[in-house]
C-alpha cells in the first residue's frame, strides 16, 4: 500500500537518499582538490551524474507531496487547512534561505549585505514552488483530476523553451527579483527551469489514486517511462525538430539535460516504490522527514552560515581524494546523527526542562 495515515513512505526514503547524496556531494565538490583526481574516471563520472539529479528529485517531490496532501484533505478549496500550513512553509523556507546566506561579521562591521545574499538558493526556490502549486490549485480547482494535464503541460513547456530564457538577465528588474528568474543572474537555483520539476511532481500527485491496489505496476510504469526519457528522449526530440523544422526543439535536443534528469527521477521513484516494504518505518524514513534540519545543519558546518567560519573557509578545494572521501563519509554520518539525536533526545529534554523552569517561575510569582 502506498499510503498509511496519508504518508508516502517511499518518498520519505527517496528524500533521505537525495539529502545524503547532497551532503556528501557538497562536501566533496567544495573541499576536493580537482588536481588530485582523474575527472574522466568512470567512478568520478558516475558520482558526478548522481550528484546532478539530487536537486531534480527534491523539486519533483515538492510538487508531488504537497499536491497529494492538498487533494486528499476532506475540505477542498480556500478552506483547505493544508493551504495555511503550505503558506507557513513557504515563508519558513524563504526566510531560512536568506538567513543561511547572512554573514553576521560582514554585516556588523560594514552595515551591508553581500551580493550573494540577494541571490536565491534551493530553499527559496522550493518555497516558490510550493506557492506556485498553491496558486494553480486554487485557480483551477474546478478542473479536478484534469489539472494533472495542466501541470504536465506547464512542465513540458518550461523544459521545451529552456533555450529561449536561459540567458535572459531581466536587467530592468532589481537583482533581488531578477535573480529568481534565470541562471544568467548568478543564482545557484532559479524559478526557470526548476518549476518544471515541481509541475511534473504535482501532475503525478493528481494522476495517481490515493491507494493504488497494485503499486508494483505503477513502479514498472515509472521505470519504463523514466528509461525512455533518460535514454531516448534526445533522439525523440531531435526527430520532432526535423519533422516540424523547429530550431527550438533542435536546440533542446543538443542540451537535453532537463528531460533526461526527469527520466532519472522517475526511475528512482520506481525503484523506491519497489523497496517501500523495506524502508517503511525505517531509519531511511526518519532521515527523509528531517531534510530541512539536515540542510540547515550542513550549511552551517560546511559553509559557515552566520559566523562565516566553516570547513569551506579552511579547506576549500584542498583535500586529496582519499581524505575527501573519508571526510565526506564522516561529515554525512555526523550531521545526520546530530539532527536525529536532537530530534529524538535533546529536543524533548529541552522542552521538559523549559516547562519545569516556567512552572517554577510561576510558583515563585
Q: Please spell the DSSP secondary structure of 317-352, one letter per residue.
A: T-B-HHHHHHHHHHHHHHHHHHHHHIIIIIHHHHHH
59-66 mean pLDDT: 92
pLDDT for the residue numbered 212: 62
> Residue 150 burial (CB < 10 Å; 0-12/13-18/19+)?
middle
Say what percent of the chain tops pLDDT 70.
Answer: 90
133-159 mean pLDDT: 88
Q: What is the dihedral of CA 297, 117, 22, 93, to 10 degrees?
A: 70
| Whether the predicted model's global pTM rises above the 0.85 cut | yes
Cell numbers standing for residue 300: 552551517
Q: By the 8 A CB rule, do 305 and 312 touch?
A: no
pLDDT for the residue numbered 298: 94
Average pLDDT, the chain: 86
Tell me the per-residue pLDDT of 11-38, one tens digit each, with 9 for 90 and over: 888 999 999 999 999 999 999 998 888 8
pLDDT band at 107 (very low <50, low <70, confident <90, very high): confident
The H-assigned helical ranges of 73-174 are: 81-101, 104-110, 122-139, 147-160, 162-165
Number of other CB atoms surrounding residue 102 within 10 Å: 14
HSE value, Cβ hemisphere, 13 Å, CA-based, for 356: 6
329-350 mean pLDDT: 81
- In angstroms, rounded to a whole number, what is the distance separating the alpha carbons of residues 316 and 6? 43
Instruction: Give residue 47's region: left, alpha or beta (phi > 0; psi -120 to 50).
Output: alpha
234-243 mean pLDDT: 95
Q: By the 8 A CB rule, do 231 and 183 touch?
A: no
Q: By the 8 A CB rule, do 230 and 278 touch?
A: no
pLDDT band at 147 (very low <50, low <70, confident <90, very high): confident
pLDDT at 354 over 80: no
Number of H helices, E strands in the chain: 19, 2
Cell numbers standing for residue 254: 543538443
Q: By the 8 A CB rule, do 287 and 18 touch?
A: no
Tell me the per-residue pLDDT of 182-214, one tens digit each, with 9 for 90 and over: 888 888 899 999 999 999 999 998 888 666 667
- In angstroms, rounded to a whole number, what is the distance separating the alpha carbons of residues 17 and 203? 23
pLDDT band at 153 (very low <50, low <70, confident <90, very high): very high
Number of other CB atoms surrounding residue 253 within 10 Å: 20
Say what percent of the chain tops pLDDT 90.
Answer: 51
pLDDT for the residue numbered 345: 64
Residues with Cβ < 8 Å from 182, sequence gap 6 or more? 165, 166, 167, 168, 169, 170, 190, 191, 192
- Of 252, 260, 136, 248, which Cα lies nearest the Cα of 197? 260
- In angstroms, rounded to a whole number, what is the distance separating the alpha carbons of residues 359 and 192? 51
pLDDT at 2 over 60: no
- In angstroms, rounded to a whole number, what is the distance separating the alpha carbons of residues 39 and 32? 11
Residues with Cβ < 8 Å from 281, sequence gap 6 or more? 9
Amino acid at each position: 500500500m502506498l499510503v498509511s495515515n496519508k504518508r508516502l513512505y517511499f518518498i520519505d526514503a527517496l528524500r533521505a537518499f537525495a539529502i545524503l547524496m547532497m551532503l556528501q556531494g557538497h562536501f566533496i565538490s567544495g573541499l576536493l582538490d580537482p588536481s588530485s583526481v582523474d575527472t574522466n574516471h568512470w567512478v568520478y563520472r558516475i558520482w558526478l551524474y548522481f550528484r546532478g539529479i539530487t536537486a531534480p528529485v527534491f523539486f519533483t517531490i515538492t510538487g508531488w507531496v504537497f499536491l497529494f496532501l492538498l487533494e486528499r484533505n476532506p475540505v477542498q478549496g480556500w478552506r483547505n487547512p493544508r493551504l495555511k500550513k503550505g503558506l507557513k512553509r513557504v515563508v519558513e523556507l524563504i526566510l531560512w534561505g536568506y538567513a543561511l546566506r547572512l554573514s553576521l561579521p560582514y554585516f556588523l562591521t560594514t552595515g551591508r549585505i553581500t551580493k550573494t545574499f540577494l541571490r536565491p538558493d534551493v530553499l527559496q526556490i522550493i518555497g516558490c514552488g510550493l506557492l506556485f502549486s498553491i496558486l494553480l490549485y486554487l485557480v483551477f480547482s474546478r478542473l479536478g483530476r484534469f489539472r494533472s494535464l495542466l501541470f504536465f503541460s506547464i512542465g513540458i513547456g518550461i523544459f521545451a523553451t529552456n533555450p529561449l530564457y536561459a540567458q535572459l538577465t531581466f536587467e530592468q528588474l532589481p537583482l533581488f527579483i531578477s535573480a529568481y528568474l534565470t541562471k544568467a543572474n548568478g543564482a545557484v537555483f532559479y524559478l526557470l527551469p526548476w518549476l518544471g520539476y515541481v509541475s511534473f511532481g504535482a501532475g503525478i500527485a493528481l494522476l495517481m489514486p490515493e491507494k493504488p491496489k497494485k503499486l508494483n505496476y505503477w513502479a514498472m510504469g515509472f521505470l519504463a517511462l523514466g528509461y525512455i526519457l533518460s535514454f531516448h528522449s534526445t533522439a525523440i526530440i531531435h526527430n520532432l525538430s526535423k519533422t516540424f523544422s523547429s530550431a527550438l526543439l533542435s536546440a533542446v535536443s543538443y542540451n537535453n539535460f532537463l528531460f533526461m534528469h526527469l527520466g532519472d527521477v522517475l526511475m528512482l521513484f520506481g525503484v523506491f516504490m519497489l523497496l517501500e516494504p523495506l524502508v517503511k518505518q525505517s531509519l531511511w524514513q526518519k532521515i527523509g522527514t528531517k531534510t530541512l534540519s539536515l540542510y540547515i545543519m550542513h550549511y552551517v558546518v560546511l559553509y559557515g552560515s552566520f559566523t562565516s567560519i566553516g570547513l569551506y573557509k579552511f579547506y576549500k578545494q584542498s583535500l586529496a581524494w582519499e581524505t575527501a572521501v573519508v571526510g565526506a563519509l564522516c561529515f554525512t554520518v555526523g550531521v545526520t546523527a546530530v539532527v536525529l539525536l536532537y530530534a529524538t533526545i535533546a529536543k524533548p529534554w529541552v522542552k521538559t526542562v523549559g516547562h519545569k523552569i516556567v512552572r517554577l517561575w510561576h510558583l515563585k510569582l
